[in-house]
Amino acid sequence: MVIKLFDNNWLDHIVEILELEVNLEENLKENGEEQMKIAVASDNGLVSGHFGHCESFMIYDTVDGKIVKTEAVPNPGHKPGFLPVFLNDKGVNVIISGGMGGGAVDIFNEKNIEVITGAQGKAKDLANSYLLGELKSTGSVCHEHQHHDECGE
């Protein structure tokens, strides 16, 4: 759908687009298709060595094991306990990172979000590997923030 920049009904067009997206999500749920959101802590398209210090989160919407939408969400900031809640509010089911602090792991676990740590490589490749059942967590947990560049090793 193309929105005319000088159209006085531009707000109506935006509402229409949002309604279409909501209808698509409802139709997918009604048809029983398996949906999942996978987030990868990323730096320039590669998995970040430390979850909290990544540049962005690549969020992959999947349906029946295939990526159908990709969104880059800038990291809003590293504050203890904030990012797991932030990603939960975005509907994330799985988080993939090189390393992650124990507090974040605990919060993700409380929210029933699967945590995969110890990952290396391209964000999209990792999401696809997860969907194929080929990506497993090493359990890499960072214990000291001053050494965050070494997380995931």
Residues of the domain holding 93: 34-150
28 with 43, same domain: the answer is no
Q: Report how far residue 151's alpha carbon sits from residue 132's, in angstroms, rounded to the nearest whole number.
A: 25
Task: Please give the C-alpha separations between residue 133 and each of 109, 129, 136, in angstroms, as whole numbers.
Answer: 20, 6, 8
What are the 10-residue block averages of pLDDT along the chain, 153 residues in total? Answer: 56 64 58 85 94 95 95 91 95 96 93 96 97 89 52 42
Task: Give the number of other Cβ atoms within 10 Å of residue 66's Cβ.
Answer: 10
Q: Report how far residue 91's alpha carbon sits from residue 79's, in angstroms, rounded to the nearest whole number.
A: 20
39 with 27, same domain: the answer is no
Question: For the chain, what is the domain count?
Answer: 2
pTM for this structure?
0.74
Q: Which residues contact 99 (CB under 8 A, 6 or more apart)?
A: 49, 50, 51, 117, 118, 140, 141, 142, 148, 151, 152, 153
- What CATH number is given to the structural domain containing 65? 3.30.420.130
Q: Given 3-state DSSP classes, what are the helix, strand and coil percentages for the chain, each rounded to the nearest 5?
A: 35, 25, 40
19 with 71, same domain: the answer is no
74 with 6, same domain: the answer is no
Give the amino acid at 13: H
The whole-number pLDDT of residue 29 equals: 56
The whole-number pLDDT of residue 78 equals: 82
